[in-house]
Amino acid sequence: MKPIGNPQLAPATALVQLIQENPELPTATWTIDTELGSLHGHLHTGGMEALSAYAAVVGGSVTPGRGWQLNGVVVRTHTLCAVWRDVSVRVAVVLPVSAAAGSAVAA
């Protein structure tokens, strides 16, 4: 999908298509980066299984971030990066390091 005028149009359209075509995907909070014309999702529940569901649909790869402390627990953001329908898509989930240690996401 090529950007047409407004940089929000392509990512907004891709999001609508993603949700309409894959209603079983876990619920995420979404934002659109108007500078880059990209789509960013954040998963609040479901952990690596939820991230895997998105990877199965949009492809891409998952990269773990650095660990950091949240309320005394070491956590890490895992980010799925893909291009879907010509739109850059990033979906992230924050997990305790211990919960993500044995998990893997296949794209």
pLDDT digits (tens, 9 = 90+) for 18-69: 999 999 999 999 999 989 999 999 999 999 999 999 999 999 999 999 999 9
**38 has which bridge partners?**
33
The pTM score is 0.85
Exposure string (b/e) for 38-58, b if CB count within 10 Å is 16 or more? bbbbebeebbbebbbbbbebb
Sign, CA torsion 24/25/28/32: negative
Phi-psi region of 16 (alpha: psi -120 to 50; beta: other; left: phi over 0): alpha
